[in-house]
Amino acid sequence: MTSIDDLFKKPNLPSKRKLEDLPDPSKSYKSAKVSTNGHVKQYATPFAVDEIDEEEEAGPQLPSDIQPEDGPNEDDEGRFFGTGIDDNAKQALDYLDTREAEERFVDEKIDSSWLRKLALNFEKRISKNSELRAKFEDEPQKFINSEADLDTDIKTLSILSEHPELYEEFAKLGCVNSLVSLLAHENTDIAIDAIEIISELTDDDVEATPEQWDALFAAMFEADLLGLLVSNFSRFHEDNEADRSGVYHSLSVIENLASQPANSDRIGRDTALSKWLLDRIQKIESSVSQNKQYAAEILAILSQSSSLNRKRLSDLDAVNIFLELLAAYRKRDPHKDGEEEEYVENLFDCLTCLVDEPEGKTKFVEGEGVELCLIMLREGKMSKPRALRVLDHAVGYAEAKEPDPSSKKGKSKREEEESVNPNRGALVCEKVVEAAGLKTIFRMFMKKQDAATTEHLLGLRKDHKTGHFEEGFCRASRDGGRTDQGGKEESEQGRS
């Protein structure tokens, strides 16, 4: 029987235990797999890890029947950086490139041959439209297509503004006459398009020679352009945007024609046009429109162009019309940087030109223009320097024409006065003195003014023939500006 001491006897082992070398974990590792019954099976066989090629694409390999979208040399950055087009689209683009290389675009040559062809087609369009309109007057659907074709041909003529060397032949072919005749077309849209093209052809920016301008303008005047423009004003209703545009382009044509000195007198002789312009600037509007301002600008151009035009406007009572329109601005200023400010400037320009003529000076005094200008000098702001300029021109020397001795009529009262003192400027000077104007002018003269105001004040100081203002200024200097107090009350009541 084994004793108890033998059971608890220490085994014969060395004092220190040597550990075996552990395997390198980088070379192998143990993997565990869970079986279907939940037991863990251990595999001591190490698993070798192959080196991964970083350049190799991830994911399964595409089937052999699917080709990559891009060619091998098109994209080195992968499928997300491709062109985004498939083979069909590439083939279509290649086909278009080939066709473009085969068929080079050639600009159409704009010359006499082109113009003759254009003129022939233009005349055919006009004739066809006229025939269809006459044949199917009550059935517009049967001629509307011909009208659209005519409208297209009208707009094609705008290219001539880039080739003014063709203006003379354009007139010889009769196209100018045909174009101007379209201003009387029953369809106002066609008439407006024709007006717009004429405005482009006559624009100042067109680099035409004097001979080319003369040929074009002569053909237009011969076709009664001015008469047709004026007649269209009566059928345009400016409440409609298209008609308002037609009026604007009509005024543009008149301005272009008047820019040539030889034409301005011819335009001024058209009394119907001058009356319409004067009526247009008097039309009451909530705010000054572009066309109202443009009409005043045309009047200013005509007034500045010739003495005959100024006389004609004076005979139409234009001086009194301008005074009445400017009276609204005797104490208030127009809105700045807008149509109203330019409108007022043009009215002052017109009045300044008209009072240079003997007839204008007489009308100016009769219409209480002196009193209005003095009120503006005392109370106006924007109107003050302009009123001073009007007075400067009004007091200038201008002799009235002697009456025709062969006339059987006797002299009128005005003609008798003019025969005594033919200088109409003296009449204005006397009115300034009577209205206590010297006091106002002298006060302005004593203050520091800009160069333009000083020039007009010096112009007012002396009338070259009568010396009225020289004497008046001397008295004003002696009396400290207390001259002619008696007429002050009358002048205040003039246009207040």
Residue 46 located in a structural domain: no
Exposed / middle / buried, residue 403 (Cβ in 10 Å: 0-12, 13-18, 19+):
middle
Q: 114 with 243, same domain?
A: yes
CA distances from 11 to 15, 17, 19, 52, 215 (A): 11, 14, 19, 53, 139
| 207 and 118 co-located in one domain | yes
Residue 80 has pLDDT above 90, yes or no: no
* Residue position matching structure tokens 């565990």: 32
Q: Which pLDDT belongs to residue 496? A: 43
Q: Is residue 457 a part of any domain in this protein?
A: yes
Tell me the angle at which helices 144-156 and 188-201 cross, rounded to the nearest 10 degrees. Answer: 10
- 18 part of a folded domain: no
- CB < 8 Å & 24+ apart, contacts of 54-63: none
Domain-terminating residue out of 255, 272, 303: 255
The total domain count for the chain is 3
Domain annotation covers residue 405? no
Between 44 and 242, name the one with better pLDDT: 242
| 38 lies in some domain | no
Please give the Cα distance from 107 to 462 (Å, whole number): 68
* 308 occurs within a structural domain: yes
Are 339 and 236 in a shared domain?
A: no
If asked whether residues 187 and 284 sit together in one domain, one would say no
The whole-angstrom separation of Cα 464 and Cα 308 is: 24
Domain identity same for 122 and 241 = yes
Domain boundary residue, one of 255, 282, 317: 255
Q: What angle do CA 371, 456, 467 make, to 5 degrees?
A: 75
Among the candidates 255, 282, 309, a domain finishes at 255
> What pTM was computed for the model?
0.72
Task: Decide if pLDDT at 44 tops 50.
Answer: no
Residues 214 and 180 in one domain: yes
- Same domain for 379 and 488, yes or no, is yes
SS3 for 384-440 is HHHHHHHHHHHCCCCECCCCCCCCCCCCCHHHHHHHHCCEHHHHHHHHHHHCCHHHH
464 falls in which pLDDT band (50, 70, 90)?
very low
Is 276 inside any structural domain?
yes
Q: Is there a single domain that holds both residue 323 and residue 283?
A: yes
Is-contact 258 305, C-beta < 8 A? yes
Same domain, 242 and 267: no
Q: 441 and 323 share a domain?
A: no
pLDDT of 71 strictly over 70: no
The residue type at 374: L
Range(s) of the domain holding residue 485: 367-398+419-496
Please spell the DSSP secondary structure of 282-343, one letter per residue: T---SS--HHHHHHHHHHHHHHHH-HHHHHHHHHTTHHHHHHHHHGGGSSSPPPTTSHHHHH
392-430 per-position pLDDT tens digit: 899 887 776 655 455 455 555 555 555 555 777 788 888
Tens of pLDDT along 316-338? 999 999 999 999 998 889 988 88
Query: By the 8 A CB rule, do 398 and 423 touch?
Result: yes
Query: Are 449 and 316 in a shared domain?
Result: no
Question: 199 lies in a domain?
Answer: yes
Quick one: 377 and 439 in the same domain?
yes
